[in-house]
Structure formats: C-alpha cells, structure tokens
Structure 1
Amino acid sequence: MSVTGASAAAVPPPVTPSPNTGQPEPGAATTSGTAPPSATSVPGLAAIQPSPAALNTFIDSAQLESLQQSIVGLVTIWEEPIDPFAMVAVAEPQDPAAPPELPVMSICTGWFDTPTTIVTAGHCVDPKEGRLAMHMQDGPVDPETGWPLPLDPGLPEPQRTVWAFQPRELPGAVLTSPIIVRVHSFRTAEDGDTAKLEVHGLPPAKPLAIAANAPQLGEPVTSIGFPGLNISETDGIDIAGLLSGGKAPADVLQDSRLQPASTSGTIIARQFRQGVAVHQVSADFDQGMSGGPTVNSRGEVYGINSQMTVPFFGQNFNVITDTGMLREFLGQDVPPEATQPEAAQPEAAAASAPAAHASQVAAAVERVDSPGQGLAARWPYLLSGLGGVVLGGGLVGWVLKRPTRATTNAGEAEAGS
C-alpha cells in the first residue's frame, strides 16, 4: 500500500548505512540517541489533527460491522386513496378458496444520517413510482399479449405508508420493533433520487457521515443494503403469518434472520443521468439495495445506491448519487473541495458532519407462466424494483417460488422510468 500526502510525512525515513563504515549516513534517522520531540514539547503540535486513513484500500471488517448498526430496512405499502365524497362500494364476498392477496409493496434500504432521521432513495417513496407499481401488479392487461395496458395519467396519487425496521439479530439495533416513519422531503429519480424520513420517540441512533470530497476514479468503495435474493433465501421467513394478515411485512422481515449485506468495487466513471451528476461503480447491486449507502474505506458516505443494470443484460451500469448534491439536499455546507476528487485536494479535511442521502436500485419485469396457481394468477407481471424491490422480487417472490414456475424478462431499469 502506498502512502501519500500528509500520511507519508509521518513515516520516518529508513536508516541507510554508509557503504564505507556501516554507520548511518549523516542526517539519516536513527533508533537511538535523542528522542524525537513529544507532542507537548512542540508548540501547537498537540492541536494538529491526525492524518486521515488512506483511501486506497477497502473498508475493514470491524468498521463495516459498526456501519451496519446504522442501516435500516424500509417497506413502503401503496394503497388507493380514500375519497370521502365517493359512494361506499359494497365489497363482493370473497371466495374462501381464493388465495390471499398481498398489498402492493416495495422494499428499500435506508440509513441514519442524524440520530433521528433516515435517508433513502427518492423513488422508494415517490407516489409516481407507487402508482406504477400498483398498475403493474393489479392494473388491467391486454387480453392478447398479457402485458399491462398503458397507465392512466389521470389517476390520483396512491396512499403511502412507510415502515422502518432493523433485524432483531443486528447488533446495536435501535428499532426494536417496526415503526411508521414520516416522509420529510424527497426528490424524484430524475431530479437526484434522494429522500429524508423522520423518526420520533426512539433512542438516538448512530448516524453516518458524508465525505467532504467527491470520490476519485479507481477508488475502492463498499455498497451496503438488503439484496432481494437474501430476503427470499433467509431463514425464519414467516410466510404463513404474512399471508394470513397476522404480521405486517416489516414484522416478518424483522423477525427473520435477514442481515444487511455489502459488496465492493471501485469508482469507474462520473456520468450524467438526465442532467444530474452520478458516480458509476463496479460494485454489484441487487433489488432491495436502493437507498443504501456507498462508503469509502473510512466509512464516509459518497452517495446512495440509485440504479442498476440487470446482470444478464449487457454492461454493468450501477450508479450512486453525487456527493455534493447529497450534501446540498441535506442542508450541509458544501466545501469547495467537495466538487473535486480528494486526490486533487490532499489538504482537505476528511471528517464531515453526519448526514446521508438516498438513491435507488432497480427494476425487473417478471412474467408468471403458471396461470391458476394461487397468487401467481393475480400477478401475471410483477415489477421487481421501483423503490428497491416491489415485492415481485421480495416478499412476493417467496410465494411465487413455491410450486409456481416463473420466467423473467428483464432489461435495464432506471429510477423513475
């Protein structure tokens, strides 16, 4: 590992013996004799902050375990709004033999940016994305092709309920039971893909800090979140309790043995998506990691997981939100150095105030080819993304993976598309 900048100055030069005498050359460092001056003997030295850790390594395991205490899972439930002036519809009697229906849901990742607020991807809580998810799950379909008909733009915004949870086995978890959080503000996927949620009545959580500088090309990063595949493969999933209505989705996930996962890669490009700056990373993303943080080796947040390419469809295009835009959205001071890679600003301060930002992961359209087999008959197409995992790739996947055979037709999915 190379050492540069201020860190290099702290490393004493090696002792070089003279080729003639075998003694150290004049001016060379020695291990004996007069000791170097202490911090208390040099005026002002004690006030100097230690040099930050180098950024040319991946995050270590102890720091990663510490960061996971700040990670939360988010389940957003979308429902039709209640019109107080509409006539009360008489519900048709439900066939006792019919399979239970799950509500339209999406799963995302979030994290504490302050002791009482959570950041996630904007598309995770965007009513436009929720309406699209509802349309894909329960909307009318073309009888000839089986594909959903175009979405009616005149439909009202759906009602949104956002639950936050942390797995029971997560060390240091603050959310000991799922709670409903308030959406303070958000930006759509086209406008930055960020959201801020408020938490009340809980002990203060451990926040993550945002990096003061933008990442540099080739720098190692780690992305954290709840991958969709982990959800369906984790022990302790109480599907019966979920389908019976005895447990909410957030309860089911918290009671499972689900844990946040991390993937590592490097910063490979700075791109623009519909005029908004993003950073492209080589770390693997999965549905459900939307809103999770991507951090440097010091555990500072560079951005939020925002978009992914479905792996079997061409080149990797996984992106996180821009560092400076994230700080601006959260109302933090943006230092001038934050617009430049840290390599160009070696004297910049490494620490920053706690905060974080939101972004998204992906979407995949799943076609179910086994009509008449329980729940699958109600969902010929499932949008698995739209705020992490619109339960086609998450909770719905648990049901569809039973006796139902499904084929997946997926391409690149982008926030707000």
Structure 2
Amino acid sequence: MQTAHSSVQAYRGSLLYFHADPAFIEHAHAWHEDGLLVVEDGKIKAAGDYATLHASLPQGVQVQDYGGKILSPGFVDSHIHYPQTDMIASPSPGLLPWLQEYTFPTERSFEDPRHAATVAEFFLDELLRVGTTTAMVYCTVHPQSVDAFFTASEGRGLRMIAGKVLQDRNSPDFLSDTAQGGARDTEDLIRRWHNHGRSLYAITPRFAPTSTEEQMQLTGELARAYPDTFLQTHVSENEEECRWVKQLYPQARSYLDVYDRYGMMRPRSVFGHCIWLDQQDRARIAETKSAAAICPTSNLFLGSGLFDFEQADKAGMLMSLATDVGAGTSFSMLQTMNEAYKVARLKGSYLPAMRMFYLATLGAARSLHLEGTIGSFSAGNEADFIVLDPQATPLLARRTRLCDSLEETLFALALLGDDRVIAATYSGGRRVHARGQG
C-alpha cells in the first residue's frame, strides 16, 4: 500500500464523475476519455483532459497509468450492518423471523470487543475490495462495537459513518439497553468519535418497534442537540412490520410519522428501505431534506417489496443506493445496481446506468449532505476514488469491446460486474486495495 505524503500524485485513465442528477439535467456528468486526476495532500487538486493538465504537473511527478480503465469517485453505501457480516445469506421466510433467528443471536457476540474488532477488519476489507470508500454503518447495542469499528476505520484513514443501535423493547434481554442508558452511551460516543479524524457519528434507533416512546423521545432530543450528526433507522420495509408499528404507535399517521413526531426528520437523517410510503410521506422526506437509502438486494431477498423510483422522483426525495448487508446478499454496489435496475423495471420505470452510478457516488454524497467532501472529483474533495476495469472478466471484455457509448459500457459494468471490476481503491489519496494483492 502507498503511504500518505504531501507530494502531488497523478493518475491517468478515463475519468467519470457527476455534477448533477442525470435524471433531471442533461449532461450531468463529466467524462474525460484520456483524463488526468491530480491529488495533493489527500485531496483532489484537478481533474480533466490529460492533454490539458499534464504540463502543469510539478517536475518529477510520476503518472500512474490506468490506461483502458475508468477512474470514478469511490462508491458510497448508505445503509449496511457490519455485525451481520457473518450471517449474510441466512434463509428465512421474512424480515421479522429473520431478525429473531439470525440477527439478534449474531449481534450478541459483539459484547466481546475482540470479536467486534475482528469482524470490523474483515468488513472493511470487503468494502474496499468492492470499491466502497464510505459507508453508513449500523453497529450493535454495545458501545464497544462502535469503538471497535471506528478504531479499525481510522487505522485505515477511511471516511466512515457509524453508530450504536438503540433498542429497549421487543428485543432479547441480551440485546436490550434502556432509554436513559442508551442516550448516555450515544452522547458519550458522539463526543468520542464524531468529527474525530474522518469519523462521523450516526444516532441509530434500530427501528420504531424496538424502542419505547421514552427512548424515541430521548433520541429526538439528541438529534436536535447534535444537528451535525447523522441519524439512521429503518422505515416501511415490510408490510407485516408496518402493521406492527401501527399497533405500537396508533396515534401516528404513518410509520414515517412516528419518527417525525419525535423530531428525527432533518438533514443527515437517512431512512432505510422506504418501500411502503404514501405521497405525504415522500413529500415530508423531501421537505425535511431527509433521505431514503434504497436496498434492492435486501428487499428482494426478504420479499419485502419494490422501491418506487418514479414516485420518489416526483416528490423530489434525496436518495441513494445501499447494500443492507446482511439481508442484502452482496457488498458490491455494482451488484446492487444490477438489482436496482430490475426493481425499477418491475415497478414500471427505467434506471439508466448513468443514474445508477450517480446514486452510488454524488447522489449518495448529496443524500448525506457531504457534497463538497466526497462523491465527485471537484477540486478540494477528499481523494477517495476507484479504478474500474471494463475487461475484468472474459465476458465483460467481450461485451465492452462491442459497446458504442459510455452508457452502454456502464450498463455492462452494472449488470455483469462484481468485485473483480475493482482494480484499485484509493482513500484520502492512498491506495488501500489492489486487485490480486493481500
């Protein structure tokens, strides 16, 4: 791996990044077929045509040649559970029995900080191997699970968001906190980790059914007291779950309204799934500048339902793609794009590849209110980027040779790609993964 230093680094290859949502603006992307990416002190200094920029490089700078490959901002996964790494691909007839049979018993072991540290390291290896440079991560109810995760991510210099799960009812005794205790732990963790290095904290109520009204109230108070933190939770994932929430919170207009009543809808709040929303819910997400994390592989795996891209766009919702491992069946954002495309088709809409790559990069950064920090090659952004290889497999090489447009090439990568497509991953200007090494 490269070491961090203050000198300029330069990378030649085809450059792809976005400055707007291609669903609404024509020419929303930048494409430099023979491009140069210039990095200094871990941040983007310039991105453009090689012919224009190479003469401006300081004397002695060696250019890393990625000819035939595409350099893109690193993928952003806006909803994923690191403690569920070891239970990925666990069979179950639905969400609620899956939680009871697999999720809760697996998360119990994270009371052991050594186990948490071991899983965190493997989890981060997997993210980097598939080109994910930032993720919004659920830990467990145990504060030590958060400490283990951020210790591991900071050791690698990664931009990560994570938080301790809050759950004080409808949970096994071994996985329950208390309303007051959970709030105290969360505040301690915010002070310890939020904006420490590249770490950001997410206040994390698991979902409304596993929190008492007292815990929801205290969670909303924390969200108001620390407005620059993130908030992550689940909403309207499964019809049975929605009926359960209605029983537990009969005063609420909808499942989403439960969170709204406790002051949890605001910028940097990210709601996983958002399948069974109505028009009023979608309008409220847009109005509050909250965001939806779309989890197609998880939703198909558990039979939860199909996200409605068309209605979300009509409402003007912020949204991004997410794997939702371990209900999601792959860490790869390319495989997540594959399933998102099919979900859109089944709902009667169409997702171009350009839109899917936007949702996994700049779109995710906008959803997280981190535009200007990650998600594009704009000058001053952190130099988190990946190198995509259109010839990574024999089938991809054969297919992409016949592509006559960028859209067609990206579509092939999304529908046929996996971890093998990621030739290299860079974080803060450092190479943190190279295909075939370590």
TM-score under structure 2 length normalisation: 0.21
Higher fraction of helix: 2
Task: Tell me the TM-score normalised to structure 1 length.
Answer: 0.21
- Which structure would you say has the larger Rg? 1
